[in-house]
Structure 1
Amino acid sequence: MSSIKQIQNTLRLTYGIVPIVAGLDKFTNLLTNWADYLGSNKGLIPFDPLVFMKIVGVIEIIAGIAVLVRPLLGAYIVMAWLICIALQLLIGGNYLDVAVRDLVMAIGAYTLARLTKIEQTNSRPQ
């Protein structure tokens, strides 16, 4: 297995499993109280923040599965999702450390997409 393929597989598993775990945790709040991340935006949501976070959890689970099944598409979805989360946190002025972390993770997801594209291009018969 090539080094690029090994790196791609490591990133695929990371960006597939982590969103699934985070999404599942939206239903249990074992890692953190996810509704707290909404900050002052809680009043902008037309329903209970816990329900909103469960919807977010479902989206994250789907995004993680997409990375595992179709890494090129899934990586771009996760990248966009992480950027949206970071922007929401930056606009709210809360959890700026998490916003920076999510932007760095978005770069990792972009790297997975690019490596997947390179691997797909190189594996095509010429």
Structure 2
Amino acid sequence: MESIIKSQSLRQTFNLLKYTFGIVPIVAGTDKFTNLLTNWEQYINPTMANLLPFSASVFMMIVGIVEIVAGIIVLKKPEIGGYIVAAWLTVIALTLLLGFNYVDVAVRDLVMAIAALSMARLSKIVK
């Protein structure tokens, strides 16, 4: 009985992480086109923005597409999507840290990357 309860708890934890890392990137990615939640361009490292061959707005739309696709992959194949989201969040955090802008957001993204990695690893146990 105890192993059944542990198994159910593990499955619930996995599902919570799966839907969080599936839905949140889709919502954030979609918002890159509308800027309803925030002005996403403010998070671009100014040095990096100057290197872009297009506007910051176009860059954020590309980022939005990547995030939407990553969220869909998490929902369909969490064992792969978790690693993609973890890597993506780590890159975002490192970019923010390089410019020493939004350090609080960078730390939050690193914590979320660890959670996404944990979800990917859990997916191998919870089938």
Question: How far apart are 1:44 and its partner, in Å?
Answer: 1.3
- Among 80, 84, 87, which residue is 2:87 paired with? 80
- Residue 46 of structure 1, CA deviation: 1.1
1:68-107 to 2 correspondence within 5 Å? 68-107=75-114
Aligned mates of 1:90, 1:39 — CA distance in 2: 9
Q: In structure 1, list runs of 5 or more residues that go unmatched.
A: 121-126
Tell me the residue number matched to 1:123. none
Q: Report the more deviating stretch, 34-43 or 50-59.
A: 34-43
Q: Structure 2 counterpart of 1:81, which letter?
A: W
Taking the aligned partners of 1:14 and 1:66, their CA distance within structure 2 comes to 13
Q: How far does residue 62 in structure 1 lie from its aligned partner after superposition?
A: 0.1
Residue 39 of structure 1 corresponds to: 45
Deviation at 1:93, TM superposition (A): 1.1
Alignment-derived partner of residue 3 in structure 2: none
Distance in 1 (CA, whole Å) between partners of 2:100 and 2:110 is 15
Whichever residue aligns with residue 46 of structure 1, its letter is: P
1:23 corresponds to: 29
Number of residues of Structure 1 aligned to a counterpart in Structure 2: 120
Matched residue, 1:115: 122
Aligned CA-pair RMSD: 1.0
Runs (4+) of structure 1 exceeding 4 A deviation are none
User: Is the 2:45–2:95 Cα contact (8 Å) retained in structure 1?
Assistant: no
CA distance in 2, matches of 1:80, 1:118: 21
Structure 2 gaps, min length 5:
1-6
Cα deviation, residue 39, structure 1: 3.3
Shift of residue 19 of structure 1? 0.2
Residue 60 of structure 1 aligns with an amino acid whose one-letter code is E
